[in-house]
C-alpha cells in the first residue's frame, strides 16, 4: 500500500490547528504502516498554504486547485476521492470538525474499506489499524479494529495530538490536477461567515489550569474559585457537569467533549471525581494535584499528588498563603 493521505483543513486563508495534529498522528504511524505521508491542500490558491506544512516526517505536499475560493463539501469529497485513488492511500485522515463532517463520510462511502468518525486515538497493530472512540456521552471508551482492510478513512477529534517538529529542509510539493466538471453543477455558493461569540479562555494553550467540579456545590461559589485561579496565575477550567449546568461557558470544559489541556504543566482538579471523559483531557499532564473528599475517586489514580479534603478548606489554605 502507499502510505497515509492527510486532507489539510483551512479557513480564511489559514491552516486549522487540527491539520498539524493529523500530521503528528500520521508521522507516529508511518514506520509501522509504511509508505509516504502526503498532505493534500484543496484550495483556490493552495500554494499560499503550503509554506505552513513544513513538518518533519511529511514526504510530499499535494496542491489541488479547487474551483471555489471557499471550502465546499462537494469539491472536497470529489478531490479527496480522486487523490486517494491516484496515490493508492492505505489510510486517509480527516479532521472531525464541521468541515470534515461535511465530506469525510462521503469519501468513505465512495472508496469503501473501514471508516470511523470522532476518533480519539489511532494505533497500528500487527493485525492492522485500530481506532479509539467514545460512547454513552463520552463515559465509555471503545476500540474499533479494521483487520486487513485495504483502506481506512478516519476522522479525528481535534485537540488530542500535537504536531511534529518543523522539518529541516523543504518538503517536496506537487500539483495534482483534478477534473471538477462532473460535480460543477453541485457546488455551493458561499454567502459569508457568521462568527461565534469569542471565548474568554483557551484551555489548549494554558500552562496552569485550576478546574472545578461538582464538589464546589453551587454556582454562587464559581466566582470564589475564579478569583483564586487569577491569584494563582491559572486558567479556570471545569468538568462537564459544571459546563452542562451553565455555571461556566463550554470553553472552560476539560475532557472528551470539551478541550484538551494540551500545553498544561500543572493541573489542579478541585472537587472533580475523575470520570473517563474528563481524564482524557488532562491525565497526560506532568503534575496533577487532585482534591476530593472521596478517597476512592478515580481522579486519584491519575493524580501526582492527592489531597482527601474539602475543596473549600483547601481554598481557604491557598487564599491565606497567597495574600
Distance from C-alpha of 102 to C-alpha of 98, rounded to nearest angstrom: 7
CB 253 within 8 A of CB 197: no
Query: Binding site membership for FAD: which residues?
Result: 214, 239-240, 253-257, 271-278, 292
CB atoms within 10 A of CB 255: 26
Paired sense of beta strands 4-7 and 91-95, if any: parallel
Distance from C-alpha of 298 to C-alpha of 276, rounded to nearest angstrom: 9
Q: Which residues pair with residue 55 across a beta bridge?
A: 166
CB 240 within 8 A of CB 277: yes
Distance from C-alpha of 84 to C-alpha of 90, rounded to nearest angstrom: 9
Read out DSSP for 179-215?
--GGGGGG--------PPPPPS--GGG-SEEEEE-GG
The long-range contacts involving 175-182, CB below 8 angstroms and separated by at least 24 positions, are: 175/62, 175/63, 175/64, 175/65, 176/40, 176/62, 176/63, 176/64, 176/83, 176/86, 177/65, 178/64, 178/65, 178/78, 178/79, 178/82, 178/83, 179/82, 180/66, 180/67, 180/75, 180/78, 180/79, 182/78
Q: What is the DSSP letter of 219?
A: G
Query: Binding site membership: which residues?
Result: 214, 239-240, 253-257, 271-278, 292
Amino acid at each position: 500500500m502507499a502510505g497515509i493521505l492527510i486532507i489539510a483543513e483551512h479557513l480564511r486563508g489559514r491552516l486549522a490547528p487540527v491539520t498539524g495534529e493529523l500530521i503528528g498522528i500520521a508521522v507516529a504511524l508511518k514506520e509501522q504502516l509504511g509508505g509516504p505521508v502526503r498532505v493534500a491542500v484543496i484550495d483556490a490558491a493552495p500554494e499560499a498554504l503550503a509554506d505552513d506544512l513544513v513538518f518533519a516526517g511529511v514526504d510530499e505536499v499535494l496542491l489541488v486547485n479547487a474551483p471555489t475560493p471557499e471550502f465546499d463539501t462537494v469539491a472536497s469529497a470529489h478531490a479527496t476521492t480522486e487523490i486517494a485513488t491516484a496515490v493508492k492511500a492505505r489510510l486517509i485522515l480527516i479532521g472531525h470538525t464541521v468541515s470534515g463532517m461535511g465530506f469525510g463520510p462521503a469519501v468513505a462511502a465512495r472508496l469503501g474499506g473501514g471508516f470511523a468518525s470522532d476518533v480519539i486515538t489511532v494505533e497500528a497493530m500487527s493485525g492492522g489499524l485500530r481506532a479509539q472512540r467514545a460512547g454513552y456521552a463520552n463515559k465509555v471508551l471503545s476500540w474499533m479494529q479494521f483487520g486487513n482492510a485495504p483502506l481506512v478513512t478516519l476522522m479525528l477529534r481535534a485537540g488530542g495530538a500535537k504536531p511534529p517538529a518543523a522539518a529541516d529542509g523543504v518538503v517536496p510539493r506537487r500539483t495534482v490536477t483534478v477534473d471538477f466538471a462532473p460535480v460543477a453543477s453541485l457546488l455551493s455558493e458561499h454567502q459569508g461567515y457568521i462568527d461565534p461569540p469569542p471565548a474568554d479562555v483557551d484551555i489548549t494553550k494554558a500552562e496552569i489550569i485550576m478546574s472545578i467540579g461538582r464538589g464546589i456545590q453551587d454556582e454562587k461559589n464559581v466566582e470564589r474559585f475564579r478569583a483564586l485561579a487569577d491569584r494563582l496565575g491559572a486558567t479556570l477550567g471545569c468538568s462537564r457537569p459544571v459546563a452542562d449546568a451553565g455555571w461556566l461557558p463550554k470553553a472552560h470544559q476539560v475532557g472528551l467533549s470539551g478541550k484538551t489541556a494540551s500545553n498544561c504543566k500543572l493541573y489542579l482538579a478541585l472537587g472533580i471525581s475523575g470520570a473517563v471523559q474528563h481524564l482524557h483531557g488532562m491525565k497526560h499532564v506532568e503534575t496533577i494535584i487532585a482534591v476530593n473528599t472521596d478517597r476512592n475517586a478515580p481522579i486519584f489514580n491519575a493524580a501526582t499528588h492527592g489531597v482527601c479534603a474539602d475543596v473549600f478548606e483547601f481554598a481557604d489554605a491557598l487564599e491565606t498563603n497567597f495574600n
